[in-house]
Amino acid sequence: MLTRWRVHRHSDWLVTLPLLVLKLYAVMNNPTHDFLFGNADLSAFAAMIMVLLGAVARLTLDWGLAWTQMRTWQRVWVLVCYLASVVLLVVLLVDLGSAHSGSSTPAIVASFFAIWVGYPLVAIGSFITRSPTDGESEAVAVFKDVSYALLDTWSKAVFSWWAASLCFGIRFLG
């Protein structure tokens, strides 16, 4: 059951994160911004690749492959996927951060970027606390799922309210 939940979490992000990236660029409306990836579409594609690479690493570890029982190539593969995902995250944050300069609500926009950093921190924390023999404890699994739910609430729901308020001229969180 938990494994199915984790797959659904990543499939959800695979669809929503590229759309959130496109919406961020549209709402920021900064035509003078030079994109690191060339344009907003490539940035959204990079977000999708970031989610896929992060999912490979996280699901590999969540499905019970203990680090000590992995072969060398498996460890290298997981590390490369995870590091590439984090690099894409950093590049996206730098690009979006420079695009939002001059925003009417810089604190709200910056909070979305700060929240995104929480995802790899929770994943790394759960990996570090994992037992080499018994895997992930129930307490760590619950903490991780609650943390992801809180991060999702801010990065999706609050972001949607904020973006809708800008699009429809309604004052909310500004």
Please report, in tens digits, the pLDDT of each residue of the chain (174 residues total).
Answer: 444 455 556 677 778 788 888 877 777 777 777 778 778 889 889 989 998 888 887 777 666 566 677 788 888 988 899 899 989 988 888 888 777 766 666 777 778 778 888 888 888 887 777 766 666 678 888 888 899 889 988 887 877 777 777 777 776 555
Residue of 103, 96, 112 lying closest to 166 (CA atoms): 103
Q: Which domains does the chain have, with CATH numbers?
A: 2-168 (1.20.1070.10)
CA 122 to CA 70: how far, in whole Å? 22
Task: Kindly report the three-state secondary structure assignment for every residue of the chain.
Answer: CHHHHHHHHHHHHHHHHHHHHHHHHHHHCCCCCCCCCCCHHHHHHHHHHHHHHHHHHHHHHHCCCCHHHCCHHHHHHHHHHHHHHHHHHHHHHHHHHHHCCCCCCHHHHHHHHHHHHHHHHHHHHHHHHCECCCECCHHHHHHHHHHHHHHHHHHHHHHHHHHHHHHHCCCCCC
pTM score of the predicted model: 0.73
Question: Which two structure tokens, joined as six digits, stand for 138?
Answer: 């129930």
Question: Which two structure tokens, joined as six digits, stand for 91?
Answer: 């590049």
